[in-house]
Homo-oligomer: A and B are copies of this chain.
């Protein structure tokens, strides 16, 4: 697949990452992982394993959160994230982030957080109403800490997350104004131009909890089964009928995974004209997915055999991340005069 990259320059610093609530899937791959593999050669990149953030609404399930730190790290390594190029780190081991967030909480009002459309939507989705864990409401301040600690200039996000980035920049401006110095750096949201990969059932979002995801560690059989179950054009009952390509999950996936654009255009034309069986198109998609996932699966299995080596990589990344975050925190506290000895 050819990712459609955010526009970055060598001077940019990217901060992105994943909540460690489950292994990653093809949707993550298309939406962000593939980009990260390319971007790590272009600019500075920090990748956050967000265990602490995952706990904001998984406090009762902390063992899951903990266990998936390694799973997500394996996914990163499997797709080609290079820890020598990208700084991969564990959020809960960078306490400077909590400390920064605690100061940022003074720069945001409750009303402002409650107006945040992303938070509003999530509160509705999760049925919290007024019983929102405070850590969930205050998450934008924590995210601002994650971003600003590394002076990130670019944060790749879905369109629904843009208000979070605006909140971060509000905090940046407010902090800089209150200490009258350009300590913190504003960032820009980069929304990937590639559409979100739908679930194999055609639902808008691929998600482990919806049971419509293909994990990056899927076996060849899992992949074959997933493609078999995949929704096509419900009106395309006989092979000779014309078929619809738009909204056809198999073609949406081919858009992401078929590298030969001309061949794909021709395939679509044949499908539209009629005479092309779903099974043929699915066969082609399955091949592409098997090709894409085979090396990922192999690399994942290789790293999984040596978990200690993975922990060592994370340890080194976390140390690098802490150094940078500590430097920013020192500047923030220094600007407020909170340096005593």
Task: Determine whether A109 belongs to the interface, using a CB cutoff of 8 Å to chain B.
Answer: yes
Query: Is the CB of A226 closer than 8 A to any CB of chain B?
Result: no
Task: List chain B residues, Cβ under 8 A from A340.
Answer: 69, 90, 93, 311, 314-315
**A92-B338 in contact (CB<8A):** yes
Q: Which of A40-83 contact B (CB under 8 A)?
A: 51-52, 55-57, 59-60, 62-63, 65-66, 69
Copies of this chain, how many? 2
> Is A125 at the interface (CB under 8 A from chain B)?
no
Is the C-beta of A133 less than 8 angstroms from some C-beta in chain B? yes
Asked if residues A133 and B106 are in contact (CB atoms below 8 Å), the reply is yes
Chain B proximity mask over A72-104: 1 for CB below 8 Å, otherwise 0: 000000000000000000101101101101110
Q: Taking A59-B178, A62-B336 as contacts, is the C-beta distance between A109 and B132 under 8 angstroms?
A: yes
Given contacts A95-B99, A98-B99, contact A341 B105 (CB under 8 A): no
Please give, as numbers and ranges, the residues of chain B lying within 8 Å of A63 by CB-CB distance.
337
From A25-33, A137-145, A193-201, A212-220, give the one contacting chain B. A137-145
A55-B336, A135-B106 known; A341 and B66 CB under 8 Å? no
Q: Which of B60, B66, B130 contacts A109 (CB 8 A)?
A: B130
Whether a CB of chain B sits under 8 angstroms from the CB of A111 is: yes
Residue of B nearest to A59 (CB): B106
Nearest residue, chain B, Cβ from A326? B95
- Judge whether B134 and A138 touch: CB under 8 Å: yes
| Chain B proximity mask over A290-315: 1 for CB below 8 Å, otherwise 0 | 00000000000000000000010011
Tell me which of B132, B135, B314, B341 contacts A102 (CB under 8 A): B135
Top 4 A-B residue pairs of the complex, sorted by shortest distance between their CB atoms: A105-B135, A66-B337, A111-B130, A106-B135
